[in-house]
Amino acid sequence: MILDRNNKKEVIALLGAGGMGVAIVKRIAAGKKIFLGDISEKKLAEVASDFQYHGYDVETMVVDGCSKESVEAYAQKAAALGPVMYFIDSAGASPSQGKPEHIINLDLIGTSYAIDAFGKVMAEGGAGLIIASQTGYMGPNYDMETEMKLALTPTEELKDLDLLQAITRSGAAYILSKKVNQLRVRTAAATTWAQRRARINTISPGIIMTPVAYDEFQAPGNTYQNMIDQSAAKRVGTVDEIAYAGEFLLSPKSSFITGIDLLIDGGVIASLKTGIYQLGK
């Protein structure tokens, strides 16, 4: 069965076959080649099958998001499939899903590998989107020197920074990782991605109902429930709401937007910054 005989289709690379990334892809994928990367063969098969049943052209590749070599191979294969016009990175582990070292390796170092790798293969006019988190706004305010180190240190040397070495808790590792995602994207937008005439941004979702969110709801304490109760929206978000924003940031309608983070959290950070909500209470 050949569903699409068109050649030289634009490529959408999605690293991490999770709910938010998949929802974004579905909004932009008609007539394009979808290239899924994930560490789980089972997850790849499930998501690819769903795409195919709905008429999309999809290929898959097992990718270890913590491995520079694996991520670079994924980027090179994406470029071999056609012009890479879209890259979405939704790979990551939440605080309840991994130890601090694993979160740093995947959410921080691995994401930086992906930004680097796709910064070498994006087609002119292409756009990238990194799924970060509202938690990037929950950490301490770093001085300019520290922010510059986090933003500009070569990826291979990031792990050696004293700030990363000092992380001992999964929650702190996650918060720092998402802050660094935002900083690294800002840098890439002005340097490597700009050199290819491509754009890159981040989205920082709040509590969006995905399997990861369900895991966090089962974690000790009432952190998620307290965030919802003290937010302006008084509810969780949906993957479709993230997808609408993702579609816009990847589309030509946002061609003047690059290097920014879009916070989509229902007002949690607004409540936090004004003192209405306090972490841990």
Say how many C-beta atoms besides its own lie within 10 A of residue 110's C-beta.
Answer: 29
Contact 277, 230 (CB under 8 A): yes
Given 178, 179, 234, 244, which residue is catalytic?
Answer: 178
Contact 41, 34 (CB under 8 A): no
Name residues whose C-beta falls within 8 Å of residue 31's C-beta, 6 or more positions apart in sequence. 4, 6, 9
Given 56, 74, 113, 174, which residue is catalytic?
Answer: 174
* Residue 178 annotated among the catalytic residues of the structure: yes
Helix, strand, coil percentages, rounded to 5, for the chain: 50, 15, 35
Contact 39, 62 (CB under 8 A): yes
**Residue 12, phi-psi category: left (phi > 0), alpha (psi -120 to 50), beta (remainder):** beta
Could you give the CA distance from residue 212 to residue 216 in angstroms, rounded to a whole number? 6
* Residue 179 annotated among the catalytic residues of the structure: no
Contact 117, 70 (CB under 8 A): no
Q: Give the chain's largest Cα–Cα span.
A: 58
Could you give the CA distance from residue 19 to residue 178 in angstroms, rounded to a whole number? 18
The conformation of residue 220, written as its DSSP 8-state character, comes to S
Residues designated catalytic: 174, 178
